[in-house]
Structure formats: C-alpha cells, structure tokens
Amino acid sequence: MGRDPRFDILFEPVQIGPVTAKNRFYQTPHCNGTGDWTPRALAGMREMKAAGGWGVVCTENLMVDTHSDINPFPAVRLWSDEDIPAQELMVDKVHGYGALAGCELAHFGIASHNRITRKVPLGPVSHMTMEGIDPTQSKAMDRSDIRRFRRRHREAALRAKRAGFDIIYLYMLHENSILSQFMSSRINLRTDEYGGNLENRSRLFREVLADTKEAVGDKCAVVVRIGAAQLVREPYFENGEIHDFIAMHAEEPDLWDVVVNDWSFDSPTSRFGKEGHEEEHIAYVKALTSKPVVGVGRFTSPDTMVSQIRRGVIDFIGAARPSIADPFLPRKIEEGRIDEIRECIGCNICISGENTFSLMRCTQNPTIMEEWRRGWHPEEAPPAAASASNGPVLIVGGGPAGLECALTLARRGFDVALAERSDALGGRVLAESALPGLGEWIRVRDYRVQRLLEMGNVELYLHSELTTEQVLEFGAPQVVCAIGARWRADGVGRAHLAPVVAPETPHVFTPEDVIAGRISAGSALIYDDDGSYLGPALAERLHNDGCEVCIVTPHTTFARWTAYTLEQGRLMGRMVEQGIDVVTARTLVRFEHGVARFECNFTGRESDFEASSLIMVTSRLPNTWLYKALARDQQGLRTAGIVGLHEIGDCRAPGLIAHAIYAGHELARTIDGEPEADIHYHREFTMPAPGREFS
C-alpha cells in the first residue's frame, strides 16, 4: 500500500526563511495543561508528533520574562538560562525524526496576573487586568519600560536559538498578547509615537520583529502568529485594520500563522465549526504576501487539505487538535492508510486540560501525555506476556470502554470475544452522537469498530445479553465487565445527596428517554445538575421535536463544564436564539402533578414551574450487577477457570467518554502484568542545573 498521488503535494518540502520543512504538515503551537513542571512529558508528547510525520512541531507559549506570569494557568517559561535544558530536550527529540522545532515567545501584558512573581503588570496603558478577577491594573509602559521589554524579548529569542529551535514566533494572536494590546485601537489610547494611527500602534511590533530577526534570523525562521479575523462582538481591533496591518508588514516575517479570534471561534467544538471552518476568514492573507502561510481548521481529510493548498488558501496544514487525536496522521496519509486515521471529534476535552490546570486528555487518543510517563504509544502496544493465561478475553459490553479495551487487547495478540446486548456497537457514543451538534462523535465508535472488523483474533457478538451463568460457561480466563451506567430519575447528584423525587413519579424522564424519542410535545423542564455538554444538546433535541423547553440548574452558571471546552457562551447564545429559557441557581424541592418547585440558592425563596415533562440530568447509576454477582461466586470463578475479573468505564465510575476510553486502554495494557502500584507513572522532579545531564 502506498501514497495516493493526489496527496503528493502534502509532502513537498517548503522553505521558511533560512530553514526548510520536509512536508506541509505543521503542528501549530498548542497548550497542554501542565506547563513547565512536566518537561519530559511534554518532550515525549511532541516527539510522538515528529515520529508520526509532522514536518514542524511547535511548543505552546514560552513566557519571555517575569512580568508575564499567568499562574495558576499552566505556562512554560524562558525567563533565564535555567529554562534552556527543558527546551533542548524537546528540540532534540523532535529533530530526531527530521522535523523542525518551533517555539512561541509570548508576553501577556495586561492579561498577566503576576501572582507568583508579584511584578506589576505592564501594558500600553493603565488598564484592569484582562484575565481572571483580580482587582488590579497594569502600569502604562514608558519608554524605559519598552526598552527593557524589547531587551528581555530579544534575550528570550537568543535562549531559544541556543536551545536549538528552528522557528521562533512573535505572538500576537489574541488580546492577551502585549503586541496585540499595543496594536489595538480599543486598548491603546496613547498619544505618543506608540499610539494613534495604525502605523504608530504597530511600532512596538516592528521593533520587536527587527530585534528578533537581528538576533536569530541567520539560523532561525521568524514567524508571526496573528488573529486574521475578529469574530467576537466587541473586537480588540477592527478586521479592516488587521488586513492593513498584514499588508503593511507582508514581507517582513518568514511565515504568517493565521487564525481567527477569539479562542472559541479559533477552536470551536464540532457543534459550531466543521473541518476547514476558518477558510472564509483567512483566505485573503495569501493574496497579500509571498511568504508561506499556515492555517488551521481541524483538518482530518487529505482531500480538504489538498484543496486548500491548491486553491492558494494556505501553504501548510496547521493542526493542534487533529495532531493530538492522531499524532500519526501524516504517516497514515503517506503510507496510504487513510482509513486508519483517528479523526478528531471536536469535543475539546484537550482544551479543558488547560482551563482546569490539569493534564491534557483526548477522547480519541488515550495515550496523549502518557508517552513518557507510562511509555504508551498511540499505534503500538506490547505483545501479550508469555505467562498470560490461554483462551480469549471476554468483554461484556460494546460501548467506548469495551471497544477500546478489545482493540488494544487484540493489537497485543490476545484473542478477544466481545458481547453486546443490543443490535449495534457503540453504547453511549451511539446514543449521544444522535443529538444535535454531536454527530461527529460517532467517529469514536466507527474508528474502533472498523479496526476490530479487520482483525482475525476478534469475535463480535450482537444481541448477546449474557447472564452470570453464561459468562461462567464461556470458558474465558479473563472477563471484563463494561456494561455502562444509566441515568437516575430521582434527582440524586451534586445538589441532592438523597432522592428528591419518588420512584415511578409520573412524567419524570431521563436523557435516555429524550434520545429514544419518548417526549415529543408539551412543555419540557430539564433539571441540569450535570452541567456538561449533554443538557444543552437535550434541550435542542426537545426544541426540534416541538417542545417548549426550559433548563433549570442548581449551579450559578449554565452548563458550567462547557466553559472549559470553550462552548458556554456560544451554547447560551444558541439557547437564546431558539427561545429556550435558562434559569440558574435554583435547586429542585419537589415535582408533583406537573409542577416543579425550586428554591433560590441565595435567598431560599421558592418558585413554581409548570411542566408536562421533567427530565433529570443529575447523576448515573453504574450497572454493577454483573461484576458483583460474579465476584460473589468465587467458587464458580475457580471452577470456570476465570483468573481475572475486571470492571471498566461507566459501570465502574461514570464519567466522560474520554474517561471510559482511557479505562479500557489502561486495562488492556496491564491485564497480564503485576497488580498496579499506587503510583503507576513516572513522576517529574526538579530540573537539573545548566550543564548537567538531562534525560
């Protein structure tokens, strides 16, 4: 199997200033949720991208000095020489596969809190800090402040060059860049040579660009990343000015990295942005410059990639999320294995890591960030241990946990039998992907089922709801229970530790009822104590089915988890557009005779809502019956020759689909090993001093 000639253009080398990328696959800068306390994990993650064929692999923001401290948000620093060894490690790993290594120098200006360094935030004017809720303001930079900032930025660029980076960014992507803040007519109200018209407001950018090119331009490409279109209601600079800015400086950088503002438009979930969604907003840039342009668009189809290149939209296929979901996407295209691409579903669980100050995760790729920590590879798994018991592994349940477990076990060489009670595989993925906006989530099932159908050591059984007796009779030495969970109808969740609605109360439903189409008319009241993506999707489904819908939540904000996935504001807009009422900070007291009584969280005052249907989106009950019944029958297990009994996914502890996938993958890798230690991954400790060995 070889590469389709239609895709040859994707593998052409492209020059970027003094360096040349081996192909057009460009992993653009992206955050990871950990910052510089995990340099080995970061190097391992970026190395896997290079191994997967990406021609350029970039870091996230590297903060240039102590005046840009964004704690508690994870950040990587290039403040001093002590920060160089961690970056050298990443560069060496990326260079080992012939890829270029890029770094994104950044200073957040008035978006910096400086809670750790206690430095005064700096910006073009004295302004309230833009991120967070700190009641502090920035200092308006005078000429000496500007000179110091230019010097520190230049020193950071020289450190990046010493670390071995091939590409060095100037960051002016969002309003949280000091260069963007100076350029903004809304923020920059100065009256000196750094304020006023666009040329003056761009002065600091030109000075920093010239400083950087003078310092590192002999060996490093100097790149500018900018928001080429402002889609927010109150933009920090007008779209016409961005056009003029790029035209004014068209030939000065070695490459333009262009996206749209703000982050929720640049990295929208699949509800709000399909593949190639940025083309209409950034296509004009190529007409302004002869320099190469990289753009993003959650690219997973090589046909879409080729189309944008041939039509002169972009020169490089930029990607963050698709490179996380499948680090080997370029190699699969090059080797003619397009159907093996693990396509991004646009759920933004990866971005939630940054916003929750935690490890980046991926629904599709459970190995992300575990490359160094646990030695996991997204395409490879170690062969089954010679000591593993003979006979197949029986997996009961064909949802996300069961499918991932089966696939990884099969790759390791185990014989696998998977039994699913329904007539289709996928479990909750199959159900939830039928909801409005979540259609692309079916890729989680389709990727795994397609791979399993190609394997000769896997048997799939549909319409097979196994009893404990049948499990014991099957003859599998390892049994995995992955039969999911069901939504509660009694209201138990975060706001209620005990039932608030009696069992079998008329007109009380669960998400399963909505998905099954059992509610098709009347007024529907959703009580959302879950706070995830599901409540809004159910509301939209009910609205489409003709219901009058209201969402009430005990939380102080609507669908609060979705703030982490960049959806909350746009989802709220969707609710307003569709006439779906949203009421926050109300806790359910009771539901009787079509009337729901709620209590205000702040005042205790009660109010009534009439509804023909109450949909409880609170918590789920794990389906533990099979595992518990088997575990109680120790004699039966011994007689049947079952040496391993396991439960994974939602039937063990309900969570996101990403949690279920991870659980299935983890068990499949460890099922034949020693009982797992309490600390099951490599930990990172203090960095070595400069000049000492780092490995």
> For residues 210 and 155, is the Cβ–Cβ distance under 8 A?
no
| Amino acid code (one letter) for 232 | V
Catalytic residue among 107, 113, 127, 174: 174
d(CA 379, CA 366): 11
650 catalytically annotated: no
Q: Give the closest residue to 522 by CA, choosing from 542, 548, 545.
A: 548
545 catalytically annotated: no
- Residue the block writes with tokens 């342009």: 293
31 catalytically annotated: yes
Residue 343: Cβ-neighbour burial (10 angstroms; 0-12, 13-18, 19+): buried
Residue 484: Cβ-neighbour burial (10 angstroms; 0-12, 13-18, 19+): buried
| Amino acid code (one letter) for 646 | H
> For residues 597 and 590, is the Cβ–Cβ distance under 8 A?
yes
> For residues 159 and 91, is the Cβ–Cβ distance under 8 A?
no
Helix or strand holding residue 581 (H, E): strand 581-583
| Amino acid code (one letter) for 326 | D
Instruction: Indicate the SS3 state at residue 139.
Output: strand
Cα dist. 543→188, 304, 519, 524, 581 in Å? 44, 33, 11, 9, 11
Instruction: Indicate the SS3 state at residue 615.
Output: strand
Catalytic residue among 26, 169, 171, 564: 171
Helix or strand holding residue 352 (H, E): helix 349-355
Pairing mode of beta strands 458-461, 416-419: parallel
Instruction: Collect all residues with Cβ–Cβ distance below 8 Å to 47 and sequence separation of at least 6.
Output: 90, 93, 94, 96, 97, 371
d(CA 641, CA 188): 74
Instruction: Indicate the SS3 state at residue 87.
Output: helix
Q: Give the closest residue to 666 by CA, choosing from 351, 405, 428.
A: 405
d(CA 489, CA 474): 35
Instruction: Collect all residues with Cβ–Cβ distance below 8 Å to 394 and sequence separation of at least 6.
Output: 417, 418, 419, 471, 474, 476, 478, 479, 480
Catalytic residue among 69, 254, 266, 490: 266
Q: Given its phi and psi angles, is residue 427 left (phi above 0), alpha (psi -120 to 50 degrees) or beta?
A: left
Q: What is the DSSP letter of 350?
A: H
Instruction: Collect all residues with Cβ–Cβ distance below 8 Å to 96 and sequence separation of at least 6.
Output: 47, 50
249 catalytically annotated: no
**Phi (first) and psi of residue 560, to 5 degrees:** -65, -30
Catalytic residues: 31, 171, 174, 266
